Amino acid sequence: MRDRPVQFLSAAVAVACVAGAGSLLPRILDASDRAQLRYTDVSVEGAPPIVAVGAAVGALRGLVVDYLWIRLQQMRELGQYYDARRLADLITKLQPRFGEVWAFHGHNLAYNLSVATKTPEERWRLVNAGIDLVRRQGIRYNPNDLILYKELGWWFAHKVDGLSDDAHFHYKRELAREWHLVLGEPPESQEGRVRWLEQIAASPDTWEELVAKVPAVDGLMSALRERMRAVDPKFEPRLDRDFLMALGRWNSVKSGPGYARMFGLHEQFRRRDPMYAAIDDVLSEPERRDAVVALAAWLRKRVLVDFYNMDPRTMARFTKEFGPFDWRHPQSHAFYWSKLGSEVGSDRYDNDDDVYRILNDDRTTIQAMQALAHSGLMRVDPLSQDNPARLYDTRWIRAIDRYFRELYRKHYGTRGGGPDTFVDFYENFMAQAVRELYHAGETEEAQRILDELDELCGRGAVIPNNKYVAPLDVFVRNATFGEYEMVPDVARTDVAAVLRRGFLEGYLLGRQKVLDQSLAFARDLTEFFRTNRYTDFRTRMGDARLADMIGSLERSVEDVLVAIMRDPTLPLVDRLTIYNRLPEDQRAMVYDEARPQLEMDFAASPFAAGGAKFDAMYPEPPNMDAYRARQAEVERERAQRLDQLREGAADRKR
């Protein structure tokens, strides 16, 4: 009986302590907000309902999360990734402001779990789930956590756009298809893309505001609802991402070239898909054109904000300030998230211990721009299974030039040689850009950059040098050919790379000047490499060990064209287009060598299913028999010369 008063007293003290702690919690949260002790400016702003429960639990929640986090680290070390996924999900619910666990959870999905699957579709589902987890939830609950932005940008750059994953081509196809359906084909010019995104950003925020501004939109949706209820009496359109992608597919079929036009997909979809037929009937009426445009802009804004957690105003601003982003490209998203993270969260890491985090984030940003320069010019057919065509986009060169200067000023005082990272990047990229612009025929821009390199890294450098003093053509030749003395194998890859670019841009995009410059470069390099004093010796078997790494220009052209024709990463329709635009002699070069692979790819493509004939799309060049006879004679003569050289070498050895 004597214990009972003690128990009551203890319970009363415990209740008083809990009440006292609860009364202190608002002041503690307010102090933490003022001192920026959390990864969000306001502790409870945008938080899920469970945060309120956690706040009520008080310090006990921290103990539980600490235990679970320790257990999670043990699971990671043991490779128990599926169990770790469930535990990480629990921690994010208990402690949604714990940014590091969101980063781990997303990385676990995108990297550890995805590679354990057996199909590209399964891999993409998990990679996309990891990206989506951080993009839609982690960053919403931790809007000032720079680490989450940097990690998200890195996943787009490394996992999706990189080459290390066996399924990376599938990732690129799926991302390009998704964003083509969401946003449509972007305008060609940078200014056009800015206006395009600004129109989306200027769309009303709510459905009611849209209807008040464009009343015809309400009539359009009513007509669509009535049209579909003839098929499904309970149909009610949901204005969400799925509906936007249905509109995107309809627009791609109606207006896009490629597979849709070749195989009559419009009529096929009308017969098989009632929703597509209803959209086509209602949205195709000319008097509804303005309403369709307004509806699409509003849907795009809502899907960007609500589903992707992206701001179209920021997308437009980045496009205006930096360059022609194509949102079908993974590196555009890598730039968006890393740059946004720098803007909203870097002040929390502006100290000597954490400044490297800002540096790494900025590296991701400028590396994304570099990747867009190398492959940002895209051709996407969302209705095919082909890989997107990705070509060099010189418009990014000037943008990188400007942004380098900004980063250099920003990190000038960063410890550990921070600015040197960007100087090395700038010099290497711009030296390559001079070569790219020169080969593309943009000699004035190439000369301007060469002059800047001389001013910053040449005669105007801390230690002056004459590296960039030479005339433009001499610099390009020296910068290109000078590598071959130390790394001769680079010569072969350079010839192939320049010719490949020339053929793709010349025959696909009509850039004749690029094609002419590429052929001239390959001719000069071939002559240089086969005749200079570093490659003029032969082995005891009679081979020119280095000079024979590059054959004649004709052989290089043939090798590159055959490689293009056989390349399954290029859309089949692009390969067939190039073939049919080639001169007769070049078509003869590739016809026999490329035919087996092309015929196999054709049989597995929608071309064959649509009834097209391979021989009609890949016609045999005229006088092919005579060409084969000439090539046989050339090969016989070449074999005879090689035998003579080897016999001479053997005689000299004796």
> Do residues 492 and 522 touch, judged by C-beta distance below 8 A?
no
Q: Is the pLDDT of residue 249 over 50?
A: yes
3-state secondary structure 289-347: HHHHHHHHHHHHHHHHHHHCCCCHHHHHHHHHHCCCCCCCCHHHHHHHHHHHHHHHHHH
Mean pLDDT of the chain: 81
CA 538 to chain centre: 45
How far apart are the C-alpha atoms of 156 and 334, rounded to whole Å? 5
At residue 99, the pLDDT reads 83
Cα angle 377-381-383, degrees, rounded to a multiple of 5: 160
The 10s digit of each residue's pLDDT in 279-313 is 999 999 999 999 999 999 999 999 999 999 999 99
> Do residues 115 and 160 touch, judged by C-beta distance below 8 A?
no
197-202, Cβ contacts within 8 angstroms, sequence gap of 24 or more? 197/312, 197/315, 197/316, 197/319, 198/312, 198/313, 198/316, 199/297, 200/297, 200/300, 200/301, 200/304, 200/312, 200/316, 201/301, 201/311, 201/312, 201/313, 201/315, 201/316
At residue 569, the pLDDT reads 76
**One-letter amino acid for residue 397 of the chain:** I
The number of CA neighbours under 13 Å toward the Cβ of 490 is 10
> Do residues 434 and 446 touch, judged by C-beta distance below 8 A?
yes
pLDDT band at 535 (very low <50, low <70, confident <90, very high): very low
The DSSP letter of residue 36 is: T
For residues 333-359, give the mean pLDDT.
85
At residue 308, the pLDDT reads 97
At residue 330, the pLDDT reads 97
pLDDT band at 544 (very low <50, low <70, confident <90, very high): very low
Q: Is the pLDDT of residue 116 over 70?
A: yes
pLDDT band at 161 (very low <50, low <70, confident <90, very high): very high
pTM here is 0.76
384-402 CB burial, b ≥16 within 10 A, e <16: bebbbbbbbbbebbebbbe
Which ranges in 415-471 belong to alpha helices (H)? 418-439, 443-457
Q: Is the pLDDT of residue 348 over 80?
A: no
How far apart are the C-alpha atoms of 593 and 624, rounded to whole Å? 13
At residue 85, the pLDDT reads 72
How far apart are the C-alpha atoms of 119 and 354, rounded to whole Å? 40
> Do residues 172 and 161 touch, judged by C-beta distance below 8 A?
yes
At residue 539, the pLDDT reads 34
278-297 CB burial, b ≥16 within 10 A, e <16: bbbebbeeeebeebbebbbb
560-592 CB burial, b ≥16 within 10 A, e <16: bbbbbbbbeebbbbbbbebbeebeeebbbbbbe
Structure tokens that stand for 485 in this block: 């003395």
Structure tokens that stand for 200 in this block: 């989306």
What are the backbone angles phi and psi of residue 377, rounded to the nearest 5°? -90, 105
The 10s digit of each residue's pLDDT in 217-242 is 999 999 999 998 888 888 888 899 99
Q: Is the pLDDT of residue 472 over 50?
A: yes
How far apart are the C-alpha atoms of 249 and 263, rounded to whole Å? 15
**One-letter amino acid for residue 161 of the chain:** D
Quick count: other Cβ atoms within 10 Å of Cβ 116?
11
Strands (E), 497-648: none
How far apart are the C-alpha atoms of 366 and 387, rounded to whole Å? 25
What are the backbone angles phi and psi of residue 226, rounded to the nearest 5°? -65, -40
Quick count: other Cβ atoms within 10 Å of Cβ 49?
7
Q: Is the pLDDT of residue 623 over 50?
A: yes
Q: Is the pLDDT of residue 88 over 80?
A: no
How far apart are the C-alpha atoms of 297 and 288, rounded to whole Å? 14
Of 129-143, 317-331, 488-502, 617-631, highest mean pLDDT: 317-331
In the numeric block, the tokens 């090395």 are attached to 424
How far apart are the C-alpha atoms of 224 and 220, rounded to whole Å? 6
For residues 188-200, give the mean pLDDT.
94
Quick one: which of 576, 569, 575, 561 has its CA closest to 619? 576
CA distances from 592 to 343, 438, 507 (A): 56, 34, 20
How far apart are the C-alpha atoms of 347 and 361, rounded to whole Å? 13
